[in-house]
Amino acid sequence: MRHVLALVFAINKINQDPELLPNITLGFRIYESFFSARKTYESSFTLLSTRNGMIPNYNCDTQDKLSAVIGGLGSETSLQMATILGIYKIPQVRAVGCGWVSLLSQTGFPSVYRMLPNEEPQSLGLVRLMQHFRWTWVGLIASDDDSGEKFVQTLKPMLIRNSICVAFTERAPHVPSPSMVHVFREQTSKLHSSISQTKAEVIVVYGDTDSLLGFKLFLHTNYQTALTPIGKVWITTAQWDFTSYIALNRWTLKPFHGALSFAVHTKEVPGFRDFLRTLNPYQPQGDIFIQRFWHTVFNCSIPYAGLTIKGGRNCSGKEELESLPGSDFEMKMSGQSYSIYNGVYAVAHALHALYSSKSKKELHPFLKNVRFNNSAGDKLYFDENGESSAGYNILNWIVFPNDSFVRVEVGHMDPRAPVGQEFTINERAIVWNSRFNQTVPRSVCTESCHPGYFRTVREEEPLCCYNCAPCPEGTISNQTDADHCNKCPEDRYPNRDQDKCIPKIMDFLSYEEPLGFILASFALLFSLLTALVLGMFIKHRDTPIVRANNRELSYVLLFSLLLCFLCSLVFIGRPGRVTCLLRQTAFGVIFSVSVSSVLAKTITVVLAFKATKPGASMRKWLGRRLASSIVVSCSLIQVGICAVWLGTTPPFPDLDMKSEAGHILVQCNEGSNIAFYCVLGYMGFLAIVSFTVAFLARKLPDTFNEAKFITFSMLVFCSVWVSFIPTYLSTKGKYMVAVEIFSILAASAGLLGCIFIPKCYIIVLRPELNTREQLVMKSKSGTQEL
């Protein structure tokens, strides 16, 4: 009835328009197809024949010339009509039904035009809708005809390309005839099993009004009889007006509460509501449907038309259509009624162009090129495929307990919109099925893999069904349903949950941490102690014990030991370019001076005792020259090694991002490990020589004889550095630096303690032993003052 009223309203408005088809009056005839191919063909031939007669290829009417046909309402009906009308090149404007027949205009049926938009944007809109809500597991129910098959074949690949899987595909059952009730029960049982057993909460339903009557009956029966009615999110296409026939059969709409439907774009048409308010069953004005419609929706009698209700009231004619629930009648044009309205106007504008041209051409060229703005402000035209350029609205169905409903526009799909703006959806405006407690339904085969996990495919199952596995060590995934895990940048590392990368901690031996503070404190303490010993030796420089042990070499040794303690501080703190250059080279040169001084003292002691023998030729070697030559020459060799090192592959600051998880080791890259071990090796060589010489001189007279002390100090020195190498190689980062600092402090403290502490004991606590008489008295072989 809505479609009929839209047609009547459009014809009346055109006939009242003085500028559109002036002096020409449009009329119309309406025929029913009864969902029968035979009746459709018969009606088509009747349209082509003289009024009140059906004679193929014969029409002698002079006024009632057929200009165009609006219809049919179903896909099968449209095809059957096109088969007949196409022979006579009568334009067929299709405003309702499934869209696969749009291909008729391109495949042998150029007379078919569609006021409905192309179905491709609708299919794309379905995909975008599912992507927006992250629905990856959906069901498909399509009409059991060619258009349903084509829809499934078109939509399925689009879904798969966008990582959306189809849980099941079923055909909608047909309304059963009495003899086919058992078949209907089998079909609905299989359909119910697919729907109830699937995890899919979202089901797409495709078909036109007629082909889905059986599906509506199935839902109605399920709601009335089942203990737990089916509660799903139904997504319907624009081809299905599922409120049709509801009033007649009193089938409930409650299963569709919260449904989303695509609808052909529509607007409020000026004057349509006023037109509806003028309708009166007692003034049909040629409308043969109004009385039966009024009798049905208002449940009243119209006696003279033979429409009575036993014991019921008579229709007054003043009943208001606005008072009817939406399931019975809507005052606003639906998308399909709006398409019929626009289809009538398209034919009228084409006829106007035809008569204005005063040519005897067919209507087709003018209909193909028609362009006009309707009274609602929409610009209408047919594209090269004979299809409308309109888009789709997305409606949310809200059904109330009394089966009244409202349709709320919550989005749209407009193929003419700028790129990226074709699809819009207002999620907050949607009312969901009461089963979901107003939370967005989840329609997935498997619960999403949280960040920190990635998807692994299940064998022989769709891609949407997967397992979740934790990311491998050292990788992260920061999104839901990640296909793989990614490594963090070198300066970052995964957090505990492996869902994000966090900056690595810069790790180096600093003064603020306990280890660095303790080592720095010991370095300063030993430096202070060395300075005190040096000051004591300078103060008592003329005493026999200081003079007997070559005080100049003692000064050099004490000063070099002071620098050894202080150079360890260069190893603490963040490595820089200068500190990296100074660390090992300063350590190597200063220690070489220290060990060279010890070697010089040892050789001097040996020569001193050898020179006391009668006729000894060693006297000429004694003196400051020998000691200075030993210290300078041995130190210069180390300086040369360091100079070659710095000149070829100097040390530089480096960041080690891989050795320790979560840390960036800020360290000095030695540049050349060979050069570094050459420095250590040469220093060890000097120590071994000193130890050997001192060991050989250990039995010389022990009054002020340093040989034993030097032997022990070199033993400590070599022990420290021999243990240093494996320990140094087995550590990383700041602990490697701490090992070297500890070795420097231990070796230096060993030299200081073994060589100078005994002398300090005599100077401070036993000054009576620090005399020349004591020296001469205790000498067995005699000594000479150096």
- Residues 261-292: tens digit of each pLDDT: 998 888 899 999 999 999 999 888 777 888 98
d(CA 672, CA 684): 19
Nearest to 561 by CA among 721, 748, 396, 421: 748
Question: What are the angstrom distances between the C-alpha of 30 and each of 8, 89, 349?
Answer: 11, 20, 21
Matching residue, tokens 């490697």: 736
Q: Under a CB-based contact definition with an 8 Å cutoff, are residues 168 and 140 in contact?
A: yes
In angstroms, the CA 112 to CA 386 distance is: 7
Q: Are 709 and 755 in contact (CB under 8 A)?
A: yes
Low-confidence ranges of the chain (pLDDT < 70): 61-62, 75, 96-108, 241-250, 327, 548-549, 608-624, 697-707, 772-786
- Cα separation of 250 and 236, whole Å? 20
Residues 6+ apart with CB under 8 A from 625: none
* Predicted confidence (pLDDT) per residue in 555-589, tens digit: 888 999 999 999 999 999 899 899 898 888 998 89
Which residues contact residue 406 at a Cβ distance below 8 angstroms, ignoring those fewer than 6 apart?
Answer: 326, 398
The confidence score (pLDDT) of residue 246 equals 47
Tell me the β-bridge partners of 169.
140
In whole angstroms, what is the distance from residue 433 CA to residue 255 CA? Answer: 8
* Token code pair at residue 631: 């210290």
Q: Do the Cβ atoms of 358 and 346 come closer than 8 Å?
A: no
- DSSP state string for 494-533: E-TTSSSEEEPEEE---SSSHHHHHHHHHHHHHHHHHHHH
Predicted structure pTM score? 0.66
438 secondary structure, DSSP code:
T
Q: Which residue has the tokens 């002071």?
A: 562
Which residue type does 52 have?
N
β 392-399/260-264 pair status = antiparallel
Say what the pLDDT of residue 698 is. 64
21 contacts 351 by C-beta, under 8 angstroms:
yes
CA angle 396, 401, 405 (to 5 degrees): 35
Triad 241, 242, 248: Cα angle to 5°: 110
Residue 624, pLDDT score: 66
Pair 260, 129: CB distance under 8 Å:
yes
Query: What is the model's pLDDT at position 359?
Result: 78
Per-residue burial over 341-379, b if 16 or more Cβ lie within 10 Å, else e, is bbbbbbbbbbbbbbeeeeeeeebbebbbebebebbbebe
DSSP string over 72-102: -SSHHHHHHHHHHHTTTT--EEE-SS-GGGG
| Both tokens assigned to 536 | 């004591």
Instruction: Count other Cβ atoms within 10 Å, centred on residue 625.
Output: 9
